[in-house]
């Protein structure tokens, strides 16, 4: 499958809106990415794969995660899944893109709370530390959660957005 290739399966059974999800992984998350793509398609999601397209041991997560993060920030995909060995590098890379709110997720509470309170739009996973079953549960939770939009949450996000514009490091 080529990077950026869209894969779609209509889900006529429950009539829910198909969400456009982007996914990216380096060698450390490649196997988990392949498993999650299959599960997402089976669940009726449209998936855009940002690579890696094959398992290459010396590839670099920014090559795949940054294009994914840009697509999320531009609205080309609704949400993103970024996977590397630990999930940490993918999270660092994704958060360098203005407008991305990425977090490394390892538990159910954070998977939904990160979206509900913080409008998280990229979930990062560690392909070498989080197994498929838990990862799939976390992904479903992430994708089924919605930003609550409470005034306090909006105020906090506005402060984060303002700091993105104000901080210019030399």
* Tally of helices (H runs) and strands (E runs) in the chain: 6, 6
Q: What is the pLDDT of residue 157?
A: 86
pLDDT of residue 168: 58
Domain that holds residue 159: 5-9+17-166
Among the options 68, 84, 100, 104, which is catalytic? 84
Question: Which residue has 């982007």 as its token pair?
Answer: 22
Q: Inter-axis angle of helices 132-144 and 108-116, to 10 degrees?
A: 20
* Integer Rg of the chain from CA: 15
What pLDDT, on a 0 to 100 scale, did the predictor assign at position 60?
96
DSSP code at position 147: -
Tell me if residue 124 is catalytic. Answer: no
Domain count, the chain: 1
Q: What is the mean pLDDT of each run of 10 residues along the chain (170 residues)?
A: 42 47 98 98 96 96 98 97 98 95 98 95 98 98 90 86 68
| Nearest Cα residue to 83 out of 148, 13, 150, 130 | 130
Question: Which two tokens mark 114?
Answer: 């990160």
């Amino acid at each position: 499958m080529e990077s950026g290739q869209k894969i779609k399966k209509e889900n006529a059974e429950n009539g829910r809106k198909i969400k456009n999800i982007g996914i990216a992984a380096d060698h450390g998350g490649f196997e988990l990415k392949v498993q999650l793509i299959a599960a997402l398609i089976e669940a009726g999601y449209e998936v855009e794969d940002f690579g890696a397209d094959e398992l290459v041991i010396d590839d670099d997560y920014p090559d795949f995660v940054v294009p994914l993060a840009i697509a999320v920030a531009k609205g080309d995909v609704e949400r993103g899944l970024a996977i590397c060995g630990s999930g940490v590098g993918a999270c660092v890379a994704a958060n360098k893109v203005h407008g991305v709110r990425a977090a490394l997720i390892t538990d159910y509470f954070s998977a939904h709370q990160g979206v509900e309170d913080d409008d998280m739009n990229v979930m990062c996973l560690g392909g070498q530390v989080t197994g498929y079953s838990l990862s799939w549960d976390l992904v479903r939770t992430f994708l089924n959660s919605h930003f609550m939009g409470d005034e306090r949450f909006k105020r906090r996000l506005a402060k984060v957005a303002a700091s993105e514009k104000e901080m210019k490091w030399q």
